[in-house]
């Protein structure tokens, strides 16, 4: 496929922090294909299968985790990239890696680490994702990190837009391998960010309805959702309710995807290179004004009815306490850490706290629960709300 002039060109990559002696020789893959494969083969990516998406440590097999969410984001991202003639491999890699910095228990765990790390530079899952792939995940003999391309690291660092005040983790990587943090990222990174929004806006509805936390009648108070629902009922009047609901979610994803394609193609007119995208001074990939308004209303609904549901808040607080207790235990007694982490524990601050944070952030929900039970003598209660 011929790429658009504003797409990222793999053959013109700005390279890797650690150049490969003799070039990249393992098979006929582009640099961005290698990035994608390195993410897929990483232990940090595999751990996403047991990290919270919406529901903490879910017992049911039907609910999404960070891993299944990331796969769904990648599918949407590839559709957008292909329609816009962008590099699909870079887009897919960014989608797969976008949540790789999340700690156990999702945002509840992130809040606990942010509080515990206040004296040591704080914690941010986006910055930690860059730290994971550039420093912590180190399967190679010649260097630390996965040694991803500049375009991949740039996209992970600022898929939400330019970063004016990077925290310590991102600043550390940026000093070694400058990522032009003040500019907009590639269009592939911008598309990956919107694919994330589309995926969780709609798939969280699916999980919320399945769990009973969301009620269809409440959802239909949103007029644009009600319009879609009436069309689904008209097309499939005799279908079971569960199938109609799945059709509703698919229809809404389709509307959002088509809206992004049309709006982005219009905003990209006149852009002659990926550098034009970075220097545009605004996002190039976007929802239309009308769809952006609807999407904000949908997010508000999800926060009100699902993410901030009373049961969710109670469970999230218990999860936050687990992470806080782990940080306190490891800080007070290094003997509570596994040997290989204990042997590498620095004596001085803030490096010591950051090392502990790295260990906890890499945990799955289940491993964090097991560690807390091992240290404190009993399993934490109330850590599954479905």
Q: Residue 173: which CATH number?
A: 1.10.3210.10
User: Rounded CA gap, 102 and 80, in Å?
Assistant: 25
- Residue 26 is assigned to a structural domain of this protein: no
The answer on pLDDT for 26 being more than 90 is: no
Domain that holds residue 100: 31-386
- Residue 311 is assigned to a structural domain of this protein: yes
Q: Report the residue count for the chain.
A: 386
Within the chain, where are the H helices?
A: 31-40, 43-47, 66-83, 88-97, 106-116, 125-131, 150-157, 168-176, 187-211, 216-219, 223-235, 241-267, 274-278, 289-302, 310-332, 339-343, 351-361, 365-376
- Residue 315 is assigned to a structural domain of this protein: yes
**What's the pLDDT score for residue 381?**
75
The pLDDT tens digits of the residues spanning 315-348 come to 999 999 999 999 999 999 999 999 999 999 999 9
- Residue 18 is assigned to a structural domain of this protein: no
Give the global pTM: 0.96
- Residue 302 is assigned to a structural domain of this protein: yes
- Residue 321 is assigned to a structural domain of this protein: yes
| Among 103, 288, 100, residue whose Cα is nearest residue 194 | 288
- Residue 21 is assigned to a structural domain of this protein: no
The pLDDT tens digits of the residues spanning 232-290 come to 999 999 999 999 999 999 999 999 999 999 999 999 999 999 999 999 999 999 999 99
- Residue 63 is assigned to a structural domain of this protein: yes
Domains in the chain: how many in total?
1
């Amino acid at each position: 496929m011929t790429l658009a002039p504003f797409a990222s060109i793999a053959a013109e990559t700005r390279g890797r922090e650690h150049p490969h002696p003799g070039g990249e020789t393992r098979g006929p893959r582009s640099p961005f294909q290698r990035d994608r494969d390195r993410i897929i083969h990483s232990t940090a990516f595999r751990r996403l299968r047991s990290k919270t998406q919406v529901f903490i440590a879910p017992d049911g097999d039907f609910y999404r985790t960070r891993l299944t969410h990331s796969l769904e984001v990648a599918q949407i991202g590839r559709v957008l990239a292909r329609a816009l003639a962008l590099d699909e491999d870079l887009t897919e890699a960014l989608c797969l890696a976008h949540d790789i910095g999340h700690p156990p228990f999702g945002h509840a765990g992130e809040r606990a680490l942010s509080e515990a790390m206040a004296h040591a530079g704080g914690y941010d899952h986006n910055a930690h994702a860059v730290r994971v792939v550039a420093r912590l995940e180190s399967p190679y003999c010649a260097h630390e990190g996965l040694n991803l391309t500049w375009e991949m690291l740039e996209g992970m660092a600022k898929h939400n837009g330019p970063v004016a005040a990077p925290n310590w983790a991102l600043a550390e990587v940026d000093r070694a391998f400058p990522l032009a943090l003040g500019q907009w990222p590639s269009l592939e990174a911008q598309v990956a960010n919107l694919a994330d929004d589309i995926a969780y806006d709609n798939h969280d509805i699916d999980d919320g309805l399945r769990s009973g936390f969301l009620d269809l009648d409440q959802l239909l108070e949103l007029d644009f959702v009600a319009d879609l629902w009436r069309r689904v009922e008209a097309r499939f009047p005799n279908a079971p309710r569960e199938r109609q609901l799945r059709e509703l979610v698919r229809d809404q994803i389709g509307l959002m995807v088509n809206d992004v394609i049309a709006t982005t193609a219009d905003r990209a007119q006149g852009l002659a290179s990926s550098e034009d995208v970075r220097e545009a001074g605004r996002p190039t990939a976007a929802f239309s004004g009308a769809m952006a308004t609807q999407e904000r209303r949908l997010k508000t609904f999800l926060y009100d009815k699902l993410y901030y549901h009373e049961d969710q808040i109670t469970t999230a607080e218990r999860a936050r306490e687990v992470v806080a207790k782990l940080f306190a235990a490891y800080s007070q007694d290094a003997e509570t850490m596994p040997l290989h982490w204990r042997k590498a524990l620095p004596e001085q601050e803030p490096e010591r706290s950051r090392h502990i944070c790295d260990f906890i952030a890499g945990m799955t929900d289940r491993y964090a629960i097991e560690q807390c039970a091992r240290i404190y003598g009993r399993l934490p209660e109330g850590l599954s709300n479905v």
